[in-house]
Amino acid sequence: MVIGCADSRVCPSYVLGFQPGEAFTIRNVANLVTPVQNGPTETNSALEFAVTTLQVSLNIIRK
């Protein structure tokens, strides 16, 4: 799993060396993951889906 910036000039698969489709990628402004206590967000929903439904086991977070 990759959480990256929404900047369209940077492709996470190119930067990190994996092929498209090999990693679950979440992209948002400033690649931020806010605390769940602040309320639901699209990023938190995507994280929950990836871990619980897709059973993603390896998480890569790059700033």
Predicted local confidence at residue 21, as pLDDT: 81
Predicted local confidence at residue 62, as pLDDT: 60
Does the pLDDT value for residue 44 go beyond 70?
A: yes
Residue with the two structure tokens 């993951």: 33
* Positive or negative torsion for Cα 27, 3, 21, 47: negative
Domain carrying residue 25:
2-61
The conformation of residue 28, written as its DSSP 8-state character, comes to E
At 14, give phi and psi (nearest 5°): -70, -45
Q: Is residue 11 annotated as involved in ligand binding?
A: no
Assessment of whether the complete model's pTM goes beyond 0.75 = no
pLDDT digits (tens, 9 = 90+) for 1-27: 888 888 888 888 888 888 878 888 888
Largest CA distance in the chain: 34
Residue with the two structure tokens 């990023």: 43
- What is the total count of domains within the chain? 1
